[in-house]
Amino acid sequence: MTTRCESAPPALRSLLPALRRSARRALVGSVLLACACESAGGPPLSRIAERVNATLDASAVLLAPGDEIDVRFAYAPTWNQTVTIAPDGSASFLGVGRLIAAGMPTSKLGQALEDSYRSVLDNGQLDVVVRSFGARHAFVFGEVLEPGELELGSDRRLSLLEALARAGGPKKESAYLAQTLLVRFDSATGAQRHWTIDARPEHWKGSTPLLLQPYDVIYVPNTPIDAVGIWVDNYIRRMIPFPYLFTPVR
């Protein structure tokens, strides 16, 4: 519908077509800008790899389900025991019952056990030693052909591209690789860290692979993600089979 401004002064009426054209151009520009902002991705994979790799945990290995551990008492050897961490992250210890063990270094579990045994033994000084390690996994979810957990090798490392390949690759029709999300548990702070990464094929040729570590989560969305921190708290935590590892995003 065309609106006529018959009551406008003649000089103003002569300017109306130009004003309408300017308004249309401004509207189109605003739409294009909004689309560009919506489709913006994270830093390219080749550029962010070294920054992410700098956060790899080189400290003590965290315990996980399937690990077999020895608990050795310095002054009460009859209480020595070997236990296996259950799928829910807990383990059953003589005299004190079940405690969460997964997600801790052996030193932290040892301290928790000493605290628990104070009500049972006069001197509960002990050491926790790993007898054997269970499998370690990273997780790939979202727009990939075979989402789920991926077992890491003996060196507990896997590159992001290897993980995508082992998950069947991204879905060509729907994967929004420009905003691939990586979530990492930071054992030093007890929190999650996350990065939005542009993992489109044109960024796969970097000389430094982006390496994963146990419990890392890769999520390939089908649309851009707003408020990533809130989204991770509300969504990623529901998918991970080891929720005891994670505290809210910082």
Tens-place pLDDT, residues 102-114: 888 899 999 999 9
How high is the pLDDT of residue 226?
A: 61
How high is the pLDDT of residue 237?
A: 60
Helices (H), 90-226: 106-117, 160-166
Domains and CATH numbers, the chain: 45-59+135-245 (3.10.560.10), 68-132 (3.30.1950.10)
- What are the two backbone dihedrals, phi and then psi, of residue 177, each rounded to the nearest 5 degrees? -65, -20
Q: Give 208-220 pLDDT, tens digit per residue.
A: 999 999 889 999 9
- What are the two backbone dihedrals, phi and then psi, of residue 115, each rounded to the nearest 5 degrees? -60, -40
Confidence of residue 239 (pLDDT cuts 50, 70, 90): low
Has residue 9 got a pLDDT over 90? no
How high is the pLDDT of residue 195?
A: 95
How high is the pLDDT of residue 123?
A: 95
The angle subtended at Cα 165 by Cα 160 and Cα 166, nearest 5°, is 95
Instruction: Give the three-state DSSP class for 134.
Output: coil
Q: Give 109-135 pLDDT, tens digit per residue.
A: 999 999 999 999 999 999 999 999 998
How high is the pLDDT of residue 61?
A: 73
Residue of 216, 58, 69 whose CA lies nearest to 134: 69
How high is the pLDDT of residue 222?
A: 87
How high is the pLDDT of residue 30?
A: 38
pLDDT mean across residues, the chain: 80
How high is the pLDDT of residue 249?
A: 40
Distance CA 198, CA 47 (A): 9
Confidence of residue 148 (pLDDT cuts 50, 70, 90): very high
pLDDT-wise least confident of 30-39, 61-70, 142-151, 160-169? 30-39
Has residue 5 got a pLDDT over 50? no
